[in-house]
Amino acid sequence: MPGLSNGVKNKPKRTNLLIKLAKGGYSMAESPLNGKRILAVDDEPDVLEVLEDEILGESPNCQFEKATSYETAANMLKSKNYDLVILDIMGVQGFELLNLAVSRNLPVAMLTAHSLNPESLRLSIEMRARAYLPKEKMGEIVPFLESIFEISEYLSGWAQQMRRLEGYFNARWGDNWKESEAKFWKEFEKKTGRIE
């Protein structure tokens, strides 16, 4: 993504960490990402570089691995154990990789720019991804990933993810974006206790 790494990469390091510490949150040693093995998959090396900088900048004791193709990622998922997988949707057959990762009981965060739409969000939830993040929010990715480990219950985790991103989705897709899949969202809100 042209210009992406420059916009995110040049921000001061540890911004999210300082905010967390100010709110009584984690120190680097306490981050749930420390000690974890993370696989990030994207066909754009600059996106992987930004992810690596963001994650290792705030959780330097995690092990960060990356893949730029479906084939490499599938082989890595089949042959190694990971604590967390971050998948692009479009360039690397992300939904196929999601299926493989979930079949191995691995938590997955979907990361997308080109497939940023209500249908992909719904599919990510249905296929048991743990998060769905716009690439333009990569500068905020560490708290989203930490919450995957903080909230082990699947639907509670999604309820928190939606609280964080629903305003973004409304601004991006319009206030009525759930109407095309009203039955799904009504059931989702019922299950997550988010009935409005």
pLDDT at 194: 57
Mean pLDDT of 159-188: 92
- Helix/strand/coil (H, E, C) string of 35-69? CCEEEEECCCHHHHHHHHHHHHHHCCCCEEEEECC
Mean pLDDT of 58-80: 95
CA 91/CA 52 separation, integer angstroms: 18
Which phi and psi angles does 119 have, rounded to 5°? -65, -40
Beta bridge partners of 134: 112
Please say whether the beta carbons of 10 and 44 come within 8 A: no
- The least confident of 5-9, 41-45, 137-141 is 5-9
Per the structure block, which two tokens stand in for 70? 């479906």
pLDDT in tens, 1-30: 443 433 333 333 444 444 444 444 444 448
Question: What's this model's pTM, rounded to 2 decimal places?
Answer: 0.83
Please say whether the beta carbons of 51 and 38 come within 8 A: no
Helix (H, G, I), strand (E, B) or coil at 14: coil
CA 58/CA 144 separation, integer angstroms: 13
Burial class from Cβ neighbours inside 10 Å (0-12, 13-18, 19+) for residue 176 reads: exposed
| Per-residue confidence band for 92, with pLDDT thresholds at 50, 70 and 90 | confident
Give the chain's domains with CATH numbers: 28-192 (3.40.50.2300)
Q: Please state, as a whole number, how many other Cβ atoms lie within 10 Å of the Cβ of residue 149.
A: 16
